[in-house]
Structure 1
Amino acid sequence: MRLEIVPFVPEHAARIRLRPLDALGLEGAPAAADPLETGRMYAASGPAFSGLWQGRVVASAGIVVSRPGLGDCWALTSPQTPRFALSFQRAVVRMLPRLVAEAEIERLQALVVRGHATSCRWLSRLGFRREGLLRRLYGGRDYYIYGRIETCQ
C-alpha cells in the first residue's frame, strides 16, 4: 500500500494517534500536552510532510531548524505505520534531501527513547550514527542521540 505524501500542517499532529513510544518521545517537546500546539511548533520550525491513507494521518516527519545548519529530526507515527513501512521509508528517503536542501542543513540529529529499537534501526538505515546516550533527559528517561553529517548538495 502506498501513502499519499502531502505537506505537513499542524492539524496532522492533532489527528494522529501516536504509538506509545512515540508519545513518550514527545515528553520533552515544549507543547507536548497539546498536539495541535506541537503541530504548530513543528510547522513553524522547519520543513515537514505527512503520509495519509484514505484521509487518515499515518505518519508525519520533518526537521526543526534549531540554528543555522543544524536540524533536529522528528517523526510522529501511528499504530498503522508498520503496515506502510516501505511506503513511509521511501517517502523519507525521497523527501529528506529536499528538506535538507530547503533548510540548508549541514548536520541532522535525532533523539530516540532508549528501548525504541524500531526507531534505532530505522535511523541507522537512513544513514544516522548513534553518537551517545543522554541520561535522564526528559521525564527521567534516557535517550540516544543519532547524528548524520550532510555532504554538499
Structure 2
Amino acid sequence: MNSRFNDTGESIYSFFENYDKLIECPDCQRCIILKQNNFIICCNNCGYLNDIKSMGNVVASWGKNEGICYNHKLWLRIPCCGEELWAFNKEHLEYLEGYITSKIRSRKPNINQSVASRLPTWMKESKNKLQISRAIEQLKKRLRSIDKVLFIAY
C-alpha cells in the first residue's frame, strides 16, 4: 500500500491522448490495442474493422459515457461498488491504483481538471477502498493476460 499520493495535475485527456487505448472488440470481446494517434480499430483475432476518424475525440468520463471510447467499450472495466470502474490503459490504471491505495493524498492547489479532482465520490470514499483495490487487482490480471497474446490496431 502506498503511503502518499501526489496529484500530478494530469487530466483524463492525458491518459487518453498520450498512451495507447485498450478497447474491447464488439464481435469477439478480445482486447484491441488502439495505438496512440491511430484511427483504425482492427481486431487481429476476428477481423473486426472500424474507421473512427470521423468520431473526433470521444472521451469517457465518470458519470458520462462510462467505460466507452469511440463508441466502443473499454477493455479495462469492471463492476465495482454498484458502479463501473474503468481505465483507458495500464498508465491510467496505475494512477487510479496509486490514488486508491494511498493513505495520504495531496493535490496541487487550483487544479480543477486533474483526474484526482474529477473522480466520483464513490471512488474517494474510504469505505470503498478495499473493494476498489480488489477490482483494480482483477483489472491488472486482465492486463497481464494481453502480454501473452498479440492484438494490435494499426
Task: Name whichever structure is richer in strand by fraction.
Answer: 1
Report the structure, 1 or 2, having the larger helix content. 1
TM-score, normalization by structure 2:
0.33
Q: Which has the larger radius of gyration?
A: 2
Whose RCO is larger (CA < 8 A, sep 6+)?
2
